[in-house]
Amino acid sequence: MNTFRDGNIVKPYERLNQDQLAELHRTSMAILQDPGIWCYNRRAAELFEANGAEVVLEESPSDTYWRVRIPESLITKAIASAPSKIILGARDPKNRLDINAEIPRVYFGSGSESNIWLDTELEEYVCAADQNQKRMLPRHTEKRGSAALLCRAAHLCEQLEHLDFFIRPVNIQDDDIDETNHDVNKFFASLNNITKHVQAGLTSIDALDDVIRMAEIIAGGPQALRENPVLSFIACIFKSPLQLVDDTADKVFAIVEKQMPLVISSSPQGGSSAPIQEAGIVAQINAEILTGIALTQLIRPGAPVLYGSVPVRARLDDLHDLYGCPEFNQYNIDCVQLARFYKLPCYSSSGVGNSKVPGMQTTFDKLFSHLYMAASGAQYIHYAFGLLDRTNTFSPLQAVLDNEQVGLAKHCMRPAKIDAAATQEALGIVRKVMTTSHKLFTRHTRKPVRAGDVSQPYRFESKDMEDRVLEKALAHMGELESRPPKHLDADIIEKIYQEIPGVLPRLKQI
């Protein structure tokens, strides 16, 4: 199997020079020495200690943890064993992702676990002053996330040509879902409706064996799954600042021992759980992520892991996350550069809206980071489809709008086709056109248009005096959602239902 999704290889925009990267690295190492980390997981503390960290048990009536001071040598040695190349598999081999820290090939995907699903309908409104003036305006309805809606999201995301991987964008909160069956249902709902790579956090460590067995059935066996990991995991092992979480650490041990790919992510908020200054938040998140990655390599050298950086900024009026702001881009691109500095594949973020509904504000928020982060060269950019209200809401309509935006951003970042053959051809065209009376190059646009080199106008544009983006996007969404789903084969579904306890019978029909 040598097929992968294309992705976009970009010439990365680099905000930091080598001295600044080295400075951030030194600061991260200094943080890991003093104050060190607050480790709440015994096994992790012992593993760090066995590999040269200074570990002291700190006990107080309100808190018990291991204070772990990690030497630079431990980090350096551990991250050197982390692979630069990772393949993230998919049901359809053509949808696999070729992730290489040394190649800035950019993939965009969804994310991440919002609680609210936002439906949008258009209603006709009549102008009070002039009954002949009518407008179609959106009416939005919030729904609680459910397994059925997750199936719908996966089916829609299968159809979005610019979405390269799927992180479930909505939580399943059905009455018959609890901690024991949450994982098997969220992975089944996703994998049964999309042939792209599926990634999620693990809710319960007890479900890991069932989830992996399900993936093995889909991939064709244990070995086939390791060669084509159709799913992978996200572990946000640090609660910023610098507190290594007990149960997430247990999950990291289990996932790494199962030889499955994993994102070690951290998401400090500049201004509350990290300094707002770029130098501070980036050095801190780097210390957190490197510690998590080091842990994976101490558990099993060579474990496939992504450097998961999701630094955000606090708004200062309510301390919620603020997306679509300069600092978000600055923090994130610094992290992409650091990952490249360490030759680690980077999981990054773009495209979250602060606004609660699709519209002009959201378009601003999203485009601001989509373009910038596409230029960063991060290998794996999540959050990019449908997220509103600072990741609290998923709007399928917005996902359709984002698909168009991401597609144009990808086109924008294509490498320049400038070489001797291209310039020679252009020279010939210039000379030919200058012999004509009209001196128009229009006829010669046809070849690049046919080759896909020339972008299409915005899919939802209007040429009249009205903005009909939402109306057109809704119509397009209807067309996408009417396409038949690409379910797993019936025998695979039967096997899953026979072997994996807890998968809801009704999901078989969706």
Q: Is 440 in the site for another protein (CB under 8 A)?
A: yes
**Contact region with another protein (CB under 8 A), list: 208-216, 269-277, 401-409, 432-440:** 432-440
Give the residue, chosen from 437, 482, 498, 509, that forms a contact with another protein under the rule CB under 8 A: 437
Does residue 443 interact with another protein by CB under 8 A?
yes
Closest contact distance (angstroms) between CB of 424 and another protein is 13
CB of 450 to another protein, least distance (A): 8
Q: What x/- string results for residues 392 through 431 when contact with another protein is judged by CB under 8 A? A: ----------------------------------------
**Comparison of 56 and 449: residue with beta carbon closer to another protein:** 449
DSSP 303-367: --EEEEE--EEE-TTT--EE-SSHHHHHHHHHHHHHHHHTT--EEEE----SSSSSSHHHHHHHH
Is 435 a binder of another protein (CB under 8 A)?
A: no
Nearest to 259 by CA among 217, 235, 225: 225
Contact stretch for another protein (CB under 8 A) within 69-77, 88-96, 391-399, 433-441: 433-441
The helix (run of H) or strand (run of E) holding residue 99 is strand 97-100
Tokens read off for 196: 């792209």
Q: Which residues pair with 394 in a beta bridge?
A: 117, 387
Identify the bridge partners of residue 54 per DSSP, sorted by sequence position.
69
C-alpha to C-alpha distances, 226 to 7, 216, 254, nearest whole angstrom: 22, 9, 15
Q: Judged by CB under 8 A, does residue 446 bind another protein? A: yes
Buried/exposed code over 14-26 (b: 16+ C-beta within 10 A; e: otherwise): bbbeeebbeebbe
Q: Which stretch binds another protein (CB under 8 A): 140-148, 293-301, 436-444, 465-473?
A: 436-444
Decide whether 123 or 439 has the Cβ nearer to another protein: 439
Q: Does 439 bind another protein (CB under 8 A)?
A: yes
C-beta closer to another protein: residue 132 or 435:
435
The residue from 17, 73, 133, 445 that contacts another protein (CB under 8 A) is 445
Neighbour count for residue 414 (Cβ, 10 Å): 13
User: What single-letter DSSP state applies at residue 464?
Assistant: S
C-alpha atoms less than 13 angstroms from C-alpha of 349 in its C-beta half-sphere: 28
442 binds another protein (CB under 8 A): yes
* Residue count, binding to another protein (CB under 8 A): 12
| Burial class, 340, CB count within 10 angstroms (exposed 0-12 / middle 13-18 / buried 19+) | buried
Q: Which stretch binds another protein (CB under 8 A): 90-98, 332-340, 438-446, 483-491?
A: 438-446
> For another protein, which stretch binds (CB under 8 A), given 97-105, 160-168, 226-234, 440-448?
440-448
DSSP strand pairing (380-382 vs 387-388): unpaired
Please pick, from the candidates 449, 455, 458, 475, the single residue that binds another protein as defined by CB under 8 A. Answer: 449
Interaction of residue 463 with another protein, rule CB under 8 A: no
Q: Which residues bind another protein (CB under 8 A)?
A: 437-440, 442-447, 449-450
